[in-house]
Amino acid sequence: MRFRAKISEGVHIRRFDTIVSAIAKIAKTCVMRLTPDKIYLVMSEMGSIVGGPAVWGEMDQESLFNEYNMEGVSTEHNQIFVEFSPDTLHKNLTTLKSPSATALKMKLTKKGGAPNLTFEVTLSNRQIVHDIPVQVIPRRRWSDYETPVLPPINISLALPDVKRLRLVLDKYRTLGSVVTVTAEKEGILSLKVESDDVTVTGHIKDLCAPLFKDNSRNPWRPDKDSEMDTASVRVDIKRLFTFLSAEAIMPERVLLNLADDAVLHLLLISQELVLQIYLPRTNK
């Protein structure tokens, strides 16, 4: 197995840092799946859909890297899966924020018999090397990180302001552990929290159904046959609040999809990264 990549444009180096910072906020561990064309960021947790990924990120390697070379475990299975700590990676790569960072090299190495992702950061006056411990995922476990399958989506709305939604949830966290998210076809999103003492409902109005262009940056399409006038799902409020931290990637589009009484699906789309978040209903 071999992997080596390079970013030689300052704007893309800082964009890579933004992505690392965002995933560090939403997951303790991340599996990076390397393929010849794309890099996948897969974050799983207990209680996610059928035990599968809770967060699924997808990057075209050409969107960030000036050089990109990899050889997988075999010609037939030309992929590499490595698990790492996003927080460790973020804390070590603080130099990426520096305006003097002119190049970033990534490579898979082995030091002391242990695998690492080695990052070489070139500044204007020096070079800094960071070795981040990783765990190589054996091929027998690759099926644990397959693309999640969504149930039919009943309502889809475009969210122009994720910060507003996160601000509302921040206030609701003190009132209860579960929020009922309801979307209406007319463009209304409602958030309701109930406790023994109080019931609070907030509304975000004048939302629109998303428009889709025929290109590969939209990995999901609505199903006309499954559309409903209203759909709701009860989800864990703290998990939803944490996942909304992913808006730090500064997406160009954010879509909220609901499968009635099943799953809340968030889709954050930027030029470099498509991030999908899956939050199943809770039985709390």
User: Per residue in 74-127, pLDDT tens?
Assistant: 889 999 999 999 999 999 999 999 889 999 999 999 998 999 999 999 998 899
The tally of domains found in the chain comes to: 2
More confident: 163 or 40? 40
Looking at the structure, tell me whether residues 184 and 137 fall in a common domain. Answer: no
CATH code, domain carrying 92: 3.70.10.10
Instruction: Report the alpha-carbon angle 255-256-262, nearest 5.
Output: 145
User: Per residue in 220-231, pLDDT tens?
Assistant: 666 677 889 999
Structural domain that includes position 176: 155-280
**Is the confidence at residue 199, as pLDDT, over 90?**
yes
**pLDDT score, position 50:** 39
Nearest alpha carbon to residue 219 among 140, 276, 278, 154: 276
Q: What is the mean pLDDT of residues 201-214?
A: 83
What three-state secondary structure class fits 263? strand
Last residue of a domain, one of 77, 109, 143: 143
User: Per residue in 52-64, pLDDT tens?
Assistant: 568 999 999 999 9
- DSSP states of 10-77: HHHHHHHHHHHHHHHHH-S-EEEEE-SSEEEEEEE-TTSGGG-EEEEEEEEGGGT-SEEEEE-SSSSS
Looking at the structure, tell me whether residues 129 and 188 fall in a common domain. Answer: no
Here the tokens at position 202 are: 């907030």
Last residue of a domain, one of 87, 111, 143: 143
Q: What is the share, in percent, of the chain residues with pLDDT greater than 70?
A: 92
> Dihedral, CA atoms, 40, 44, 47, 51, nearest 10 degrees?
70
**Is the confidence at residue 51, as pLDDT, over 60?**
no
Backbone phi, psi, residue 122, to 5°: -95, 120
What three-state secondary structure class fits 170? helix
Residue 150 covered by a domain:
no
Looking at the structure, tell me whether residues 49 and 114 fall in a common domain. Answer: yes
Looking at the structure, tell me whether residues 139 and 165 fall in a common domain. Answer: no
Residue 187 covered by a domain:
yes
Looking at the structure, tell me whether residues 108 and 180 fall in a common domain. Answer: no
Nearest alpha carbon to residue 118 among 87, 149, 92, 148: 92
CB 241 within 8 A of CB 129: no
